[in-house]
Amino acid sequence: MPTEREKTSRFTVLWLKAQPVLAGYVGAMVRDRAAADDIVQGVALTAVEKMDDYDDQRSFEAWVIGIARYKVLQHYRTVGQDKLIFDEGLSDSFTKHYADAASGYEDRVDALRTCMAKLPDEAQSLLSNRYYEQVPVKSIASKLGETPARISKKLFAIRRALEQCIAQRLKTEGGPQ
């Protein structure tokens, strides 16, 4: 029987992996950002309370998305807008498709990290500047003494190479595609 500390540690690891996927799901279902944040927090509390009910054979992301579905419906019933946003059939369908997509999220992220590590330093630097630091293409071009069109073409080629590498890794490892 796991100790409370082991249970807490296990939950924390699972939650940290699932939280971005869950936040995306709730954000897609609830337009009010503050309400969406409250729902995600409520899901975390419920998941902690019901962690003993979680079946290891099931995707944790799918499990917490199931909890979130009920929290979202409860939210809309509370604010009296359930008929204006989704009917339950549409909500069920959206939830199922989102949970299915989420189940391969971690595999895709791992493949992306592996593929990015294989890129030449120049490509990694371009990606970091453009997407992590959010430097505009014009600024990158100016800094490197290149035209913005040339930088855009390089970024396109890098994205294409990453896309192909990820697809190949997922295909080889039998992950989602």
Per residue of the chain (177 residues), what is the pLDDT tens digit? 778 888 888 889 999 988 988 888 898 888 889 999 999 999 999 999 999 888 888 888 889 988 998 999 889 888 875 445 555 666 666 666 666 666 666 777 788 889 999 999 999 999 999 988 889 999 999 999 999 999 999 999 999 999 999 899 888 876 554
- The per-residue b/e assignment along 87-107, b for 16 or more CB within 10 angstroms, e otherwise, is eeeebeebbeebbeebbbbbb
Long-range contacts (CB closer than 8 Å, 24 or more residues apart) made by 54-61: 59/99, 59/102, 59/103, 60/14, 60/17, 60/18, 61/17, 61/18, 61/21, 61/22, 61/99, 61/102, 61/103, 61/105
Quote the Cα angle for 90-177-118, to 5°.
135
What is the structure's pLDDT at 138?
96
What is the structure's pLDDT at 177?
47
What is the structure's pLDDT at 170?
86
What is the structure's pLDDT at 136?
93
What is the structure's pLDDT at 145?
96
